A and B are shown apart, each in its own frame.
Chain A
Amino acid sequence: QVLLVESGGDVVQPGKSLRLSCAASGFTFSNSGMHWVRQAPGKGLEWVAVIWYDGSTKHYADSVKGRFIISRDNSENMLYLQMNSLRVEDTAVYYCARGGGATYDMDVWGLGTTVTVSS
């Protein structure tokens, strides 16, 4: 079955960096766009970034543009999110999600990994 497993969440200080990973299985990873979506404690869903199936195009939310970098390794079925200059407001559960057939849709979600930014 389709499975997405995130890892890399941690407690870090403001200004530090962290890299999240998402291991994909059960589908042809190289055919699917992939997203990162986050959820702050007790809040709703906020889209973070998307990368197209071949890595050729990336889009970011304004709140993370210039600080976060989405990337992928299709040979390893892995999605990444490099998070730099972390802020307290980046504290959230980060989910990776598979894109459906329409570029900005999401049809399968991972379990999530928790990032806490605190001094």
Chain B
Amino acid sequence: DIVMTQSPDSLAVSLGERATINCKSSQSVLYSSNNKNYLAWHQQRPGQPPKLLIYWASTRESGVPDRFRGSGSGTDFTLTISSLQAEDVAVYYCQQYYTTPPTFGQGTKVEIK
């Protein structure tokens, strides 16, 4: 199984400041035939189901604010929230969909400082 490891486990950021979450996979999730990284980011606000934010490592889902940016390739990925808003308080999960079983990182909890 591909193991997804996120860092940090939690972070507190002031409103309007940048939040950065890292995700590392135990093997590459870059599919060479189409040059796509099979990596998604999901957001789970308190008491709510998860919601897809980003897929193909850097493509924002429709309706997701452009302050959310995904980057990286191969085994190392980053989710950046450029200017944290109150509604961004949530747990963020990276997920690989390169192969079965699809696996998630342990989650990173983002709070307001």
Identify the A interface with B (CB < 8 A).
35, 37, 44-47, 50, 59, 61-62, 95, 97, 100, 102-112
Contact (Cβ within 8 A) B61 A107: yes
Contact (Cβ within 8 A) A104 B102: yes
Partner of B49, one of A44, A59, A102, A112: A112
Residues on B with C-beta less than 8 A from A108 are: 52
Residues on B with C-beta less than 8 A from A95 are: 49-50
A sample of 20 cross-chain residue pairs with beta-carbon separation below 8 angstroms, ordered by A number, consists of A37-B50, A44-B106, A45-B42, A45-B93, A46-B104, A50-B102, A61-B101, A95-B50, A100-B52, A103-B97, A104-B99, A104-B102, A105-B55, A107-B52, A107-B55, A109-B42, A109-B50, A109-B52, A110-B49, A112-B49
Total inter-chain residue pairs, C-beta < 8 Å: 66
Q: Does B68 contact A (CB under 8 A)?
A: no
Identify the B interface with A (CB < 8 A).
38, 40, 42, 44, 49-52, 55, 61, 91, 93, 95, 97-107
Q: Which of B55, B61, B99 has the most CB of A within 10 A?
A: B55
Residues on A with C-beta less than 8 A from B40 are: 105-106
Contact (Cβ within 8 A) A47 B101: yes
Residues on A with C-beta less than 8 A from B55 are: 100, 105, 107
Q: Dominant SS at the A interface?
A: strand
Q: Determine how close the nearest CB of chain B comes to the CB of A84; give it in whole angstroms.
A: 20
Q: Determine how close the nearest CB of chain B comes to the CB of A115; give it in whole angstroms.
A: 15
Q: Determine how close the nearest CB of chain B comes to the CB of A87; give it in whole angstroms.
A: 19
